[in-house]
Amino acid sequence: MIEWVYQRARRAACLDALVVATDSEEVFACCRDRRMAVEMTSTEHRSGTDRIVEVMLRQRESGQAAEIYVNVQGDEPMVSGEHIELLLQPFRAAPVTQVSTLKVPIGVEDARDPNNVKVVNDLEGRALYFSRALIPHDRAGLASSLTPYYKHLGLYAYASGVLEKFHCLPPSHLEQIEKLEQLRLLENGIPIVVREAPQDTIGVDAEEDLQKVEEYFRRIGVRSPDD
């Protein structure tokens, strides 16, 4: 799984470097065996974002820190270079951008699934809220014609400064209720730019997710992450 994500992410020409950050000895050994750049991190982190902060601070000490960091989770084998390019576009368009993420349109039935995190944004493309619940509430029964539902893809790009701020902030009230760490940013007034991606991804959290991903790659004729 890690190799699939790594090899597909490295196709993004916009990345200057790519590294796996893990607290697992098994994952670390696997990456070393397969010649993937990897760094061991603390087992005390509450999230993958905190893990990135550790890597960033380590790089800063050696004078190699970047201005922007992209967070690609290790259970996203359908990630593509295009996803990563889209994440970085807001930073090029407006240097004041602090965080970016992606969304894709989904139907009503998929929107009802609490495993699909939904996002709503303002007219400027900034996130208003993320939820496992069905948002927005379709009080007038117009969902079938307006298709207002968007699934949030768990891919992010961060300015280095906001990463440090996130790491120092305590888990927020809404974050703990929804179990969504991005709400910590919104509750603390940090805007998140949301861009629409042309293709969904499936995060592999269960066996059925893996089966869906395998079927997708078989359907498009991809047999290895290098295809």
| Contact between 28 and 142 (Cβ < 8 Å) | no
| Contact between 32 and 105 (Cβ < 8 Å) | no
Query: Helix/strand/coil (H, E, C) string of the chain?
Result: CHHHHHHHHCCCCCCCCCCEEECCHHHHHHHHHCCCCEEECCCCCCCHHHHHHHHHHHHHHCCCCCCEEEEECCCCCCCCHHHHHHHHHHHHHCCCCCEEEEEEECCHHHHHCCCCCEEEECCCCEEEEEECCCCCCCCCCCHHHHCCCEEEEEEEEEEHHHHHHHHHCCCCHHHHHHCCCHHHHHHCCCCCEEEECCCCCCCCCCHHHHHHHHHHHHHCCCCCCCC
Low-confidence residues of the chain: pLDDT under 50: none
| Contact between 28 and 40 (Cβ < 8 Å) | yes
pLDDT at 206: 84
pLDDT at 140: 75
**Bond from prior residue into 136 cis (ω within 30 degrees of 0):** yes
What pLDDT digit, counting tens, does each position of 152-193 carry? 999 999 999 999 999 899 999 999 999 999 999 999 999 999
Tell the residue number behind the tokens 């590294």, with chain if given. Answer: 19
Cα–Cα distance for residue pair 216/222, rounded to 1 Å:
9
pLDDT at 203: 87
When computed from its CA atoms, the radius of gyration of the chain, rounded to whole angstroms, is 18
pLDDT at 144: 58
Structural domains of the chain sorted by starting position, each given as residue range(s) with its CATH number in brackets: 2-205 (3.90.550.10)
Tell me the pTM: 0.91
Nearest to 98 by CA among 76, 123, 68: 68
| Contact between 213 and 222 (Cβ < 8 Å) | no
Nearest to 160 by CA among 109, 113, 222, 99: 99
